[in-house]
Every structure is written in structure tokens, then in C-alpha cells.
Amino acid sequence: MTMLLNPRGLLTASLILAANPVYSQTPRTTAARPNNRVAVQVFVTIADDQISRRPVSGLTLGFIRSANDTALAVTDRSGEASIFLTPGQYRLVSVVPVEWKGLRYSWNAAVVVREDMQAVDLGSSQATISRVAAVVAVSDGETAPRYAAPPPPAETNDIPRVPSIDKSHSSGFFIGAGLESNALASTNGGPADGGAGGALMLGYGFDRRWALYADASDATMTSADGSGTYSLTNVDLGARVHFRTGPNVVVPFLQFGLAGRAVSTYVNGSNVTGTGGGVTFGGGLNVHLAPSVALSGVLSWAVGNFDDFRVDNWSVGNYSVDVMTARLHLGIVWFPQ
């Protein structure tokens, strides 16, 4: 939570203005600051049949831009709160309700902060009003103020979130495709074979952070010793951990899981294959062009062995070869909502 305005400073300012309180009947125009922040003014008043306009002082207001980006301001004696905000869409809420003459007033309104905006006027007509079961009179029919510490983020209370400002998604089903550069080498040393191909991916995000994924790729490899080419297939099943999803365009992630690999080629008219399993690990970045569409780059490795060799489906011995594969994937991923 970001505190952009010091409540103690507001109380000090309100004492300076106490001798000549300002009761503005017409909202004033705000002005932009050189650092791209806008000076936003809010006037909070309540009224009934006897009093046409009563300023609400000491009210904590929350300007919510996302679950992790909330600024607070407190109204002074004239019912005015001032704060500098970055232009954008906010949800303006009263952190605690105001109780007056047996009624409880609270506010929840959408506000677009821009350079040419007018001051925001929150009155009785914009408030949600309910009756108070028990009222303890203090003066002028007003109940004792009930102040509270700022609430925790929106996931654990009723303060509304503003999902429309999210810049990236990672939950729900997602699908991706791209091109790959592959390398394969024996763990006992020696030069690595190289090649290129393509890959498809399908996954499901349980929340903004955790997701399961499965991908399959196929590449045409060239032997480092110049003996020819062969096909390399990778199939992975694992988990991804996304970071900074929501208000950020660039979302890094880590992934790990199980890997299955196969090589195949033709030798003297016979199909020669080798298969085996292992584990895979890696990481990458999703750079979002839109909340649901991102360019994706992944670098991953798999270690394990090839332990099933066949010639035209006939087994050719009980032995294994330890190998490591590396894959650089560049593509696009889609998170339909």
C-alpha cells in the first residue's frame, strides 16, 4: 500500500485553516504537476432537512488503482482532502463509514484522474445510506467517530478491486506456439548436436502465480560429426510459477517438471529410434502486448537418458546413454478469459 499523503500533515494544515474554513459550493479545477502527477481535490459533505451542507472532517479516503496500489487522504475541517495522483482510473472509497443522526454514510465511486478534471464532490446523493441500530449522541446529533487503521489488500476484505487496469493475465487456460533452437549433447563430454524446429504448449493457471503446462516440440538436428541429420522430439509436463502478474507488462516465470525425449533417423532403409525420460527445468519472460496476449521467451534444459533403442521396432540391446538437451523457445502465448 502506498501512502502518498501524510495524515499528520493534513491535520496540521487543517489547524492552520481553522480560523477561516472553506466551504466550497463549486468544485475547483485541478492542475497537473511537472512530475506527471495531478492535484486531486475531494469535498465530502452530508445534509438533511435541517442542514443543507455539513462538511465531513477526519474521513479517511482510499484511492484504489489495484490490489497493491492504494493511496490515502484525510478530509480536513472543511471536508476537503487533497492528494497528488498519477493519471488513470481509480476507485474512490471511504475507508470507514460516517455516522450522523442515526444514519451511516459510505462512498464508493469510480474516478478518472486527468489534468483537466474538476474536484470531486461527494455528497449525500452519492452515498450509500443505512440506519444505525444504536446511536450514541456526542454533539449536534453526531455519533462518536470510529477511526480504524487502513484495511489490508482487496483479496481479504470488501474494498473493491479494479480489474480493468490489469496489464497481464496468467490464470485460466492458456495456449502457445513458437520456434525453437535445440541442442543435444552427451553428459560424458563431446561436441553438441544442434538444430531448429517448432513447439506447441497448453496449460492452465490455478491463480495468478501457479499453473500446470504441457508442451511438445520437434526439431531437425544435425550431427556435430557430420554424419547426417535426425529428428529430436521433446514432451514436457510440469508446473510454472509466474511473478508480478496483474499490474505489470513483463511477467517472469520459472518452470520444472518431467521430460520425455525421442530421436529417430533412417539408416540403410531402417527406422532407428531411441527414447528415454528425465527431468526439465528453466525460466522465461512473458511480455504482454495486451492483458491476454504476450510474446514469450523460454530457456529450458532436460537431463536424463535414452534407454530404449530399436531398429524397425526391434529392441537392440539393454543399455542407456546419458544426455542433456537445451531449448530456446521464442513465440506467443494467449490467455483467453
* CATH 3.40.190.170 describes domain 7-161: no
Check residue 313 and give its pLDDT. 82
The answer to whether 96 touches 60, Cβ cutoff 8 Å, is yes
The answer to whether 144 touches 136, Cβ cutoff 8 Å, is yes
- pTM equals 0.53
| pLDDT single digits (tens) 41-76 | 999 999 888 888 889 999 999 899 887 788 889 999
The residue extents of the domains of the chain are 7-161, 172-334
CA 93 to chain centre: 22
CA 282 to chain centre: 21
- Which CATH architecture is the domain 172-334 placed in? Beta Barrel (2.40)
DSSP letter string, 23-73: --SSPPBP-B-TTS-EEEEEEEEE--SS-S-EE--S-EEEEEEETTEEEEE
| pLDDT single digits (tens) 221-267 | 999 888 889 999 999 999 999 999 988 999 999 999 999 999 999 98
Distance CA 123, CA 126 (A): 5
The 3-state DSSP class for residue 3 equals coil
Distance CA 20, CA 78 (A): 9
Statement: residue 143 has pLDDT above 50: no
Q: How many CB atoms lie within 10 A of CB 61?
A: 21
Distance CA 36, CA 169 (A): 27
Q: Average pLDDT, stretch 163-167?
A: 67
Angle of CA points 277, 298, 282, to nearest 5° = 50
Statement: residue 163 has pLDDT above 50: no
In a 13 Å sphere around the CA of 12, the CA atoms on its Cβ side amount to: 5
